[in-house]
Amino acid sequence: MWSAQDVARDQIRRQVNGLDMAAVAEKVAEAAARECETAEQLRRGGSFSEFESDPERLAAIWAAKHVEWQRIRDLMAQDGWGAYEPGQDAHGSKWAQEREERRDDALVARAAFEARRREEADELRTELWLSAAPSRLIRAAADRAGLMPVQVLAQLAERVVAGEGGTVSVPPFTPSR
């Protein structure tokens, strides 16, 4: 759901609060080293560890972390901050809010998808073979109503009434759009 940049910014934002310039410089150096290591490992085609299933993504995340740590270091130097405070970082705060909005949108979309799946579980999809006489009647009714035969059958099924003793009937109706 999140890009490598999103993952890097989110992880760093949780780590950086209160760090001074020296600590941030260490993080820049660590990220640079890890970026080189993962890029080299990716070039050689080896795996990073048993826990990392996507070496390309890991390399992209470390590259993004390196860029983000550098951005924070430069911001602190430019603005003369003694320690990093996320609330003062306008770009970082904006990105965090955008990530949260995308996350919330994705959660809403996922919930809607799950609701549709639950509804579909109650639906019945079937293939129906009718003999010639009933088939002609359904086609004629569909032609008169300007519908497809399957639409007439769906309307017919929606109107089925189950009686006592297991009888099934359909009250008279006119198929419509």
Q: Place 122 in a pLDDT band, splitting at 50, 70 and 90.
A: confident
Report whether pLDDT(51) > 70.
Answer: no
Among 76, 63, 77, 80, residue whose Cα is nearest residue 17: 76
Closest CA to 44 of 59, 31, 29: 59
Picking from 53-57, 74-78, 97-101, 162-166, which range would have the lowest pLDDT averaged per residue? 53-57
pLDDT score, position 49: 59
| H or E segment and range at residue 168 | strand 168-169
Beta bridge partners of 161: 169
> Could you read off the pLDDT of 88-116 as tens digits, one per residue?
999 999 999 998 999 999 999 999 999 98
pTM here? 0.60
Mean pLDDT of the chain: 89
